[in-house]
Amino acid sequence: MLDIQNLSIRFTRYTFGLKKKEVCVVRDFDLSIAPGQVMAVIGQSGAGKSLLAHALLGILPRNAKVEGRILFKGKPLTPERLSALRGREIALIPQSITALNPLLRVGVQVARAARLSGISKKDVPTTVRRAFSRYLLRKEVAHCFPFQLSGGMARRVLTATATVGMADLILADEPTSGLDPITAREALTHLRELADTGKAVLLITHDIAAALQVADMVTVFCAGTTVEVARADDFKGLDQLRHPYTRALWDALPANSFIGTMKPIERTSDAAGCPFQPCCNDQNTVCGQSTPELKDSGEGRVRCHHA
């Protein structure tokens, strides 16, 4: 369904003296999602995960430059093709509730999303009611403006907007943020149900435990690049996890060792060496000299000199 190869995202900025400088925040990112699969992209907050969804939808700011290859259903995802697919075959659950139009009632916004995705006009009211019911939203909520909703309700409306139609690829950017545990579980369960019907779901999150409830595969994101791709089942213990950063994230969970001493990793994608090298206990000279290649390892992939 979706195949990303060597994706890099650079931003142009001006430094002191109006000197132009390019900053690479995502480098050599690889990811592949098959129909019927939930692929979770996990990593620390601020690692640049959301830029991936924005690049796929072509909504990065004008000073961004995207390199690499993105294939959707076997064909290049060009800007021209993307403009025809956005909202129809590719839908986004955005991270921020400000994505809702403040001047339109939320029921109208969900209905517009349904029509854009291909739902017939006569079926829209029934489809919208089902979407609101699925996310525990009372029918009266449809008549509200976004400012009249709590943060959790607004997030549920965003999820309903993205999943109400017939999109084959769902990009979910932190879809459980601000939701209570029960509603968050319901939202993730529905993403799993969508995948079970043949859709592909890209779940972007820093909540590893939540992602593992529904994911088939996990892509671990560190300082702007892929460091490991693993089956969700590999996270049952440290033995199956190949990269030290993945093991550190797993150890930091409250249900595990709860060792949360790893400092935030700065985005230094232009620097040579492994992106995790400044925090790694297994590092040696080669780790700081060259960036390891992403190589096959068992049923997954890993970017580490020692794996």
Q: Residue 79: inside a domain, yes or no?
A: yes
Q: Residue 137: inside a domain, yes or no?
A: no
SS3 state at 132 = helix
Q: Residue 138: inside a domain, yes or no?
A: no
Q: Residue 143: inside a domain, yes or no?
A: no
Write out the residue range of the structural domain in which residue 59 sits.
Answer: 2-89+167-302
Q: Residue 146: inside a domain, yes or no?
A: no
Give 168-193 pLDDT, tens digit per residue: 899 988 887 777 788 778 778 888 98
Q: Any idea what the CATH number is for the domain that residue 233 is in?
A: 3.40.50.300
**pTM, 2 dp:** 0.82
CA distances to 143, 145, 232, 277 from 295, rounded to whole Å, are 52, 49, 18, 18
Classify each residue of 7-37 as buried b or exposed e, where b means 16 or more C-beta atoms within 10 Å of its C-beta.
bbbbbeeeeeeeeeeeebbbbbbbbbbeeeb
Non-local (6+) Cβ contacts of 34 within 8 A are 1, 200
**Structural domain count, the chain:** 1
Q: Residue 151: inside a domain, yes or no?
A: no
91-112: average pLDDT: 88
Higher pLDDT, 272 or 67: 67
Please give the biggest Cα pair distance in the chain. 65
Q: Confidence class of residue 119 from pLDDT cuts 50, 70 and 90?
A: confident
Round to whole Å and give the CA distance between 139 and 144. Answer: 10
Q: What is the pLDDT of residue 262?
A: 52
The token duo for 293 is 């290649």
Q: Residue 188: inside a domain, yes or no?
A: yes
Q: Residue 105: inside a domain, yes or no?
A: no
| Mean pLDDT for the chain overall | 83
* Top-ranked range on mean pLDDT: pick from 32-36, 56-60, 271-275, 283-287: 32-36
Angle, alpha carbons 48-50-54 (nearest 5°): 120
What is the enclosing helix (H) or strand (E) of 194?
helix 181-196
